Structure formats: C-alpha cells, structure tokens
C-alpha cells in the first residue's frame, strides 16, 4: 500500500449506519486539513425513511455535504426493481441489490472521480473483514475506526454524545440500518421480527420471493419460502446479527 500524501482525495462511503457516520467524522478530524474528503451515500428505496433524517443530521455534524451516488442502470435506487429485473434475490455470494445499487454505482463514481483512498465503516471488531477486503478487493483502504480501536457500540456512544439520534430502525430492534426485509438474511428470528414489526414488508418479500423461486429463510436445517416459515420459529438473538450491505454483501454468522 502506497503512503498517503498531501492533496490526496479520500472517499468515505456513508451507509446511513452508525459506524460509517463515525468513520466519516474521524476521517475529517484526522485528514481534513491536508486532504480532500468526499463523503458519499448510495440511497436505497427500501431503507427506513428515517435514514434520510439521519443523513441530514450527520451532514450537519460533519460540516460538509454528503454526496448522493446513484446507479445509472437503476436510478430509482429500488432493490425490489433489481430483484424483479434480475429474477434473483440472494445467494451464497450475496445479493444483486447490493451489487447493482452500491458496488457498481461506486465503481461508476470511481471511474469518473479517481479517489486515492477509501474509508469504510469497518469497526475494531471487524478487523478480519477489513483484512479480507484488502486482500481480495483493494489495498487503498484507510482503517480509521480499527486504528482508533472503535467498536460498533463505541460508535453508538459517540453519536449519542454528539446529540445525534440514531436511525429509527435501530430502536425497532433491527441489527443495522440496512433495508427492511434484507434478503441476505436467512434467520427465522430476523424474518419473524420483520413479520411482527413490518408485516406489509414481510408480505411483499414473501410474495416476490415465491414468484421468483427464492427460499429466503432457513428452518430446521433447510431453506424455505417465507410463507412456509412458522411464525414462532426462532434462531440466534437479533443482537448477534450483522448483515453487511456495503462493499461486502453477506450475512454474518447468524441462523
């Protein structure tokens, strides 16, 4: 990895989550006086609407604009549209919504803007994920949160101390600020939480996944359609779940 030099451009990818918000703040504090910092967001239609409020609050906290980066192929930013056009919702390697709306949109932006460095919301408890990304994707990533030993829980505390209200989705018991009804999840605990908190979303996912043929949930050791999932089925606690929807697109160790 080459060394960072004065005048380099650093792209911070803000996902409307707590970790990426704090990563943006720490990047500005650490590098803002000698480098061009650009904070960027890939909006997704299926995220909770309060994420946009959180974005505005974080933007005011940072003191610089958060730029919106949209997919040219899917300007609506709708994951539902991606699943319909691709006739595919999720698999072992991830989901097409993340690839189309985030990864490919980022790549389009990178080709036009040529950033020197990237900052992602990898926390201190995700050091191995950062290392895997550097090994398999690119090595020009600044591990801002990892170097300062900042965990996900620390990020929540930092935002509260700054009087920034976390996205509503966290208070509803979800493990992150991703889309409601994330198709990378297979946990019966997760899907029954969606059924309880957002029944209309659960019904939409059940209908579309049945139409496409995607068995999104796992129950009794096998994949099942959402409309086959018993309403009392459960697995690991929601607090232990972490579904990634960024450069990586995966479900992290929960069932």
Average pLDDT over residues 27-38: 97
CATH number, residue 60: 3.40.50
Q: What is the pTM of this model?
A: 0.89
4 within a domain of the structure (yes/no) = no
2 within a domain of the structure (yes/no) = no
Domain that includes residue 200, residue range: 9-252
Q: What are the Cα distances from residue 239, in Å, to 2, 34, 169, 229, 255? A: 38, 39, 13, 21, 12
> pLDDT tens digits for 91-115?
887 899 999 999 999 999 999 999 9
247 within a domain of the structure (yes/no) = yes
201 within a domain of the structure (yes/no) = yes
Residue 23's pLDDT band, with cuts at 50, 70 and 90, is: very high
Residue ranges of alpha helices (H) inside the chain are 18-31, 50-62, 79-86, 96-98, 104-113, 127-136, 144-147, 152-161, 168-171, 188-197, 199-212
Q: How many domains would you assign to the chain? A: 1
3 within a domain of the structure (yes/no) = no
Residue 44's pLDDT band, with cuts at 50, 70 and 90, is: very high
pLDDT-wise least confident of 18-22, 76-80, 199-203, 240-244: 240-244
1 within a domain of the structure (yes/no) = no
> pLDDT tens digits for 60-85?
999 999 999 999 999 999 999 999 99
> pLDDT tens digits for 174-189?
988 889 999 999 999 9
Average pLDDT over residues 37-54: 97
Residue 154's pLDDT band, with cuts at 50, 70 and 90, is: very high
136 within a domain of the structure (yes/no) = yes
237 within a domain of the structure (yes/no) = yes
């Amino acid at each position: 990895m080459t060394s960072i030099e004065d005048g380099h451009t650093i792209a911070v990818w803000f996902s409307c989550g707590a970790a990426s918000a704090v990563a943006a703040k720490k990047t500005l504090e650490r590098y803002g006086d000698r480098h061009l910092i650009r904070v960027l967001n890939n909006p997704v239609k299926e995220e909770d609407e309060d994420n946009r409020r959180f974005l505005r609050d974080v933007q005011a906290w940072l003191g610089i604009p958060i730029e919106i980066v949209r997919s040219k192929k899917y300007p609506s930013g709708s994951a539902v549209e991606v699943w319909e056009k691709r006739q595919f919702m999720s698999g072992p390697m991830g989901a097409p919504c993340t690839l189309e709306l985030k990864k490919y949109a980022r790549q389009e932006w990178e080709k036009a803007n040529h950033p020197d460095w990237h900052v992602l919301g990898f926390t201190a408890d995700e050091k191995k994920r950062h290392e895997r990304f550097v090994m398999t994707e690119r090595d020009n990533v600044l591990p801002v949160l990892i170097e300062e030993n900042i965990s996900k829980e620390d990020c929540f505390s930092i935002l509260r101390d700054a009087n920034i209200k976390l996205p509503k989705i966290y208070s509803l018991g979800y493990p992150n600020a991703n889309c409601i009804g994330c198709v990378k999840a297979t946990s019966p605990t997760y899907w029954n939480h969606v059924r309880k908190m957002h029944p209309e979303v659960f019904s939409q996912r059940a209908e579309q996944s049945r139409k496409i043929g995607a068995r999104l949930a796992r129950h009794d050791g096998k994949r099942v359609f959402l409309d086959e999932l018993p309403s009392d089925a459960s697995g690991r606690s929601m607090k232990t779940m972490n579904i990634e929807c960024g450069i990586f697109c995966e479900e992290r160790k929960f069932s």
